[in-house]
Amino acid sequence: MRLSPTTFEELRRLIHGLCGLVLGPDKAYLIHHRLEPLMRQQGIPSFEDLCVRLRQLDSSQLRDALVEAITTRETSFFRDRHVFDGFRRHALPQILNGGAGERGNAPPLRLWSAGVSTGQEAFSLAILLYEHAASISAARTTWSVVASDISASALELAQRAEYRLAELRRGLTPEEVSRHFEPHGAHWRVRQPIRQLVEFRRANLMQPFQGLGMFDAIFCRNVLIYFDEAARRAICRQFETMLPAGGWLVLGTAENLYGISDAFVSVPCGEALLYRKRPSASVRN
């Protein structure tokens, strides 16, 4: 299908406005590869027609479908295991010791997986918490993981909590699989005690999301990498308001806050580099 430079420009702008994704001038192939199946399915004959349809006021379903088609959902359980190890060994004990700030008597422990895709990151965190239940429950009465994504279909899969064995093998040991999953038809289902720790919410990081509340740690991994600096700054400003002084921000291994935010300081945690909100960082609402 032909994609003229003008239409490519318009689609790039539209996609950036909808979900923050920045498509460089060399990414026309991605538009072809990811949008043509959607267009065939919707009976849209050309990219020009796609733009016309997207400009219409009642195009919210098509816009959602476009975001679904263009975003990357690559994920796995305990992706970059050393990051989860660093969080468990260094950050979690400090959170439990009140290192994330005084928030009254036995406040709930809250973690957020922002851009959770099909759920693996949130269930990895839930497994991590569950396996340390004894030390956590000594410090906090309730604990939970909020899992959010812009993609409704990714969230639907995440909520189902069912995975193929091949997906489990990407990141989990056989012992972890048998401890935390049970056979469910052709899939394996996350066991109830882990499932019940995770709460799913649809949230676009390009829009205000502070309504999700305060967290001890925010995992936003392999998401900001797709955005431009202005979007990363705006998102980090919101993260800042949702963490207490000393709260933790965990990014992907290829991501950093250099030139994006000085409200956080990087902290080596074993082999991982995590971020912590500076005690003096002001909370901007």
Ligand X SMILES: C[S@@+](CC[C@H](N)C(=O)[O-])C[C@H]1O[C@@H](n2cnc3c(N)ncnc32)[C@H](O)[C@@H]1O
Residues serving a catalytic function are: 34, 149
Buried b (16+ CB within 10 A) or exposed e, 57-69: eeeeebbbbbbbb
**x/- map, 162-201, ligand X, by CB under 6 A:** ----------------------------------------
CA–CA separation, 236 and 230 (whole Å): 10
Contact residue for ligand X among 46, 204, 241, 266 (CB under 6 A):
204
To ligand X, the closest distance from the beta carbon of 221 in angstroms equals 4
The label of the residue with tokens 């580099």 reads 273
Residue 144 in the binding site for ligand X (CB under 6 A): no
Cβ pair 38, 11 in contact under 8 A: no
To ligand X, the closest distance from the beta carbon of 46 in angstroms equals 26
- CB nearer ligand X, residue 110 or residue 221: 221
Residue 117 in the binding site for ligand X (CB under 6 A): yes
Residue 218 in the binding site for ligand X (CB under 6 A): no
**Please, what is the Cα angle at 118 between 150 and 164, to 5 degrees?**
160
Question: Which distant-in-sequence residues (6+ apart) come within 8 Å of 39 by Cβ?
Answer: 1, 45, 47, 50
CA dihedral 140, 96, 246, 242 (to 10 degrees): -30
Residue 238 in the binding site for ligand X (CB under 6 A): no
Residue 194's Cβ-count burial label (10 Å; 0-12, 13-18, 19+) is buried
Residue 124 in the binding site for ligand X (CB under 6 A): no
Contact residue for ligand X among 110, 221, 232, 276 (CB under 6 A):
221
Residues that bind ligand X (CB under 6 A): 19-20, 71-75, 79, 115-117, 121, 149-151, 154, 204-206, 221-223, 252
